[in-house]
Amino acid sequence: DVKVTQSSRYLVKRTGEKVFLECVQDMDHENMFWYRQDPGLGLRLIYFSYDVKMKEKGDIPEGYSVSREKKERFSLILESASTNQTSMYLCASRQTGGDGYTFGSGTRLTVV
């Protein structure tokens, strides 16, 4: 069964900490995405990647960075976590030209 795996379902971090959210997919997809989801705002794209070592800013990249050293792994980094980064974070992957996304189960991050 193909899937996208996010390393944590729930995380609690302190303000100012560096936070790593990991995402791994086993479908050999070229494209990987990080979204955050907030009530009333829907899914918003943070960063995406079309290939290894390639990254593009999405709609809300401020305060985040990403790393894609291997095709199957796409990491989201919060350099210095802040309370306004408390959110649900969703990773997704997609084959170029493919039918749709495959999403991970999400990481609910709380920054205190």
CB of 4 to other proteins, least distance (A): 10
CB of 100 to other proteins, least distance (A): 4
Residues recorded for the chain = 112
Question: Rounded to whole angstroms, how far apart are CA atoms 8 and 26?
Answer: 17
**Residue numbers at the binding site for other proteins (CB under 8 A):** 9, 33, 40-45, 88, 90, 92, 99-106, 108
- Sign of the four-CA dihedral 4, 7, 12, 15: negative
Nearest residue (CB) to other proteins, 45 versus 77: 45
Tokens of 61: 């990249």
**Phi, psi values for residue 33, rounded to 5°:** -140, 145
CB of 66 to other proteins, least distance (A): 16
Nearest residue (CB) to other proteins, 28 versus 79: 28
